Amino acid sequence: MKIKTDNRRAFTLIEMILAIGVAAIVLITVNTVLFSVLHLRDVAQDMVDSGTPIDQTMTLLRRDLQCIVTPTNGTSKYLSGSFKLGNVDSPGVSGAVGIEMYTATGALSGNAPWADIQRVTYELKSPPSGGAGQDLYRSVTRNLLSSSAPSVNDQYLMSGVTSLKFSGYDGANWNNTWDTSALTAVNTNLPVAIRVQIQMARNNPTEEPITLIVPIDSVARTNMVLTTTSTAQD
């Protein structure tokens, strides 16, 4: 009588140990790659998040400066007023502003049925919760012909700003101050170009400021007083 035997070969203990070791090495490698990818994703997301406010701020600044309106000395019968650079006191804005300009970037809507010309300022304010640097704000005044004090809309742009500097180019030099509010002022017209420099409060003290230069295309204005002469018709 023959006894049937099972010829199937089972794994030995050494083979099991080798298989478990190889599987462990593969899992460790996959885990390392996965965490490296997650770390790179977080770094990239942080870079995007930190760069987005800067890009939005540069876009707003460029649009406001490109649409700037020729100054009219702040005469009340006009919608545009004077152009100022430096530490400027602007109506309705707390603290000194870096620039005050009138720009045609306002949009008509049901809640804002006024002209497209608006007064825009950019200024730094202390952050409410502390932290490094200051907060950059864009303040907008829309209803310029209001009989009462018009409301000012403060728009938060970004935080962590050490300094905000505006300069106007007169064709030969960059000037840190500019004021067209008086007829006797030296700068009666807009600059040829405006330079914006934003220094961020980062760990690298030697980092160059973020710089934006926008050429200004405007009609030159003189100190001459325009007069009209009426003639009687027979």
What are 113-148's pLDDT values in tens digits? 777 889 999 999 988 876 778 999 999 988 887 777
- Residue 176 clears pLDDT 70, i.e. is over it: yes
Higher-confidence residue of 200 and 207: namely: 200
Instruction: Please state, as a whole number, how many other Cβ atoms lie within 10 Å of the Cβ of residue 186.
Output: 10
Please give the Cα distance from 158 to 46 (Å, whole number).
Answer: 15
Tokens 């994703």 belong to 41
Predicted structure pTM score:
0.69
Q: Are 103 and 24 in contact (CB under 8 A)?
A: no
Half-sphere exposure of 224 (CA within 13 A, CB side): 6
φ/ψ bin of 92: left (φ > 0), alpha (ψ from -120 to 50), beta (otherwise): left
Output the six-digit token pair for 144.
């310029």
Q: Residue 19's pLDDT is what?
A: 86
pLDDT of residue 168: 93
**Residue 205 pLDDT level (bands cut at 50, 70, 90):** low
* Spatial separation of the C-alpha atoms in residues 99 and 173, rounded to whole Å: 18
Q: For residue 165, name the pLDDT band (cuts at 50, 70, 90).
A: very high
The distance of Cα 204 from the centroid of its chain, to the nearest Å, equals 21
